Amino acid sequence: FQYLKRFDQGCNLDMFCYEEHSVEGSPAECLQQFLLHCGVTDPSWAELRNFTWFLNVQLRDCEASVFCNPDFVHDTLQGF
């Protein structure tokens, strides 16, 4: 949710890193973001769950990768 919210606001996501147990927004805002970004018209709960699970895994891997660390790559992959 936090990544999608910042993406919609046009924030630079290269420097953002999720902090475990941090809470932003309401459950309604979270659901609205997932509905906007999941890519399925009128998704089922299972489709929303699969979308959020996949997005979470990808973002966790990205944050853990040295190749996506802005301190390591500097400005060579700006916007990647």
pLDDT digits (tens, 9 = 90+) for 13-66: 877 888 888 999 999 999 999 999 999 999 999 999 999 999 999 999 988 887
CA-CA distance, 66 to 53, in Å (whole number)? 22
**Residue 48 near residue 38, CB atoms below 8 Å:** yes
> Which region holds residue 24: left if phi is over 0, alpha if psi is between -120 and 50, else beta?
beta
pTM above 0.85, yes or no: no
**Domain ranges across the chain:** 44-79
CA-CA distance, 61 to 3, in Å (whole number)? 14
Residues whose CB is less than 8 angstroms from the CB of residue 42 and which lie 6 or more positions away in sequence, other chains included: none
Residue type, 35: L
Residue type, 18: Y
For residue 74, pLDDT over 70 is answered with no
For residue 78, pLDDT over 70 is answered with no
For residue 68, pLDDT over 80 is answered with no
- Residue 28 is predicted with a pLDDT of 96
